[in-house]
Amino acid sequence: MNVPQLKSLLKLQKNDLTLIQLKKEAQSVPERQAQIKKNAQSARDQATAAQDAVKACESAIKQIELEVETAKEQINKYKTQQMQARTNEEYKAFEKEIANAGEKIGELEDKELLEMTRLDEVKADLVKAREVEAAAEAQVATEIQELEERLNVIRSTFAEVKEGREDLVAEIDKEISDRYMQLLNKKQDAVVVPIRQDSCNGCHMKLTPQTLHDAHSQQKWTNCNFCGRYLYDDGE
């Protein structure tokens, strides 16, 4: 174990962990953008559905009003015919038809009242759906852009951090840096870790006396028997 090399290795690890973090964040951006767009689409769909419900309700009311109009015309027709009735039976028959039509109008008007109440409800739903839609559209406009800007920051930070990497690698024995890279690729987490309470700070397993002795003596590179991480004694 070579103390200056350990310092370089720790510096390299710090940079590499930053690179891993940045890469993960960059990879999550498209998914986050897609989710924002998906939310906006769903808000648009709900607003359209709410608009359709209002239209359906309005057309139902119009239909009822037409039926009321038709029934009223029918009553007028019956009344004219009733006046021309030749027999008492005929007269009474028209009277019955007029009463039936009047009853139907009453039913239609009750139905219309219900539809009117429903119209108020669906209109209120539409106002809410439009608000949600506007908020979602605003979110698309701002957050997609913010994520795009964040991506640019990530890219430039990534390039900056990566720039000094080769110099650091050159300061470390190839065998050690190769092993370090293998471990890092596998764990995607810290692979050069301190000893804490006689345990590996990576996998938290209790280390053997021999491993502890090797790490404390700093005479050679020491790896955890369990997870293979490089161990170092920082005196804590």
**Which CB, 133 or 202, lies closer to Zn ion?**
202
- Rank residues 74 and 199 by Cβ distance to Zn ion and give the closer one: 199
Does residue 226 belong to the site contacting Zn ion (CB under 5 A)?
A: yes
Q: Residue type for 153, please?
A: V
- Whichever of 80 and 210 has its CB closer to Zn ion, that residue is 210
b (16+ CB within 10 A) / e for 172-203: beeebbebbeebbeeeeebbbbbbeeebbbbe
CB of 188 to Zn ion, least distance (A): 15
Question: Where are the extended beta strands (E) located within the chain?
Answer: 192-196, 199-200, 222-223, 230-232
Burial class (CB in 10 A: 0-12, 13-18, 19+), 37: middle
In the complex, the smallest distance separating the C-beta of residue 207 from Zn ion, rounded to whole angstroms, is 8
Closest to Zn ion by CB, 75 or 215: 215
Contact stretch for Zn ion (CB under 5 A) within 26-34, 154-162, 170-178, 227-235: 227-235
Q: Closest distance between Zn ion and the C-beta of residue 199, in Å?
A: 8
Angle of CA points 66, 68, 85, to nearest 5°: 120
Q: Which of 176, 224, 230, 232 is the binder for Zn ion (CB under 5 A)?
A: 224
φ, ψ for residue 189, nearest 5 deg:
-160, 175
A 10 A CB-CB count for 169 gives 16
Per-residue interface string for the shown chain with Zn ion, residues 141-180, x marking contact by CB under 5 A = ----------------------------------------
How far is Cα 84 from Cα 92, in angstroms, rounded to an integer?
12
Q: Are 57 and 118 in contact (CB under 8 A)?
A: yes
Q: How far is the CB of 193 from Zn ion (least distance, A)?
A: 7
Residue 23 or 213 having the CB closest to Zn ion: 213
- Closer Cβ to Zn ion, 177 or 211, answer by number: 211
Nearest CB to Zn ion, comparing residues 101 and 224: 224
Q: Read out DSSP for 152-188?
A: HHHHHHHHHHHHTHHHHHHTS-HHHHHHHHHHHHHHS
Q: What is the per-residue binding string for Zn ion in 177-216, x denoting contact by CB under 5 A?
A: -----------------------x-xx-------------
Least Å distance between CB 3 and Zn ion?
A: 21
Per CB under 5 A, residues contacting Zn ion are: 200, 202-203, 224, 226-227, 229
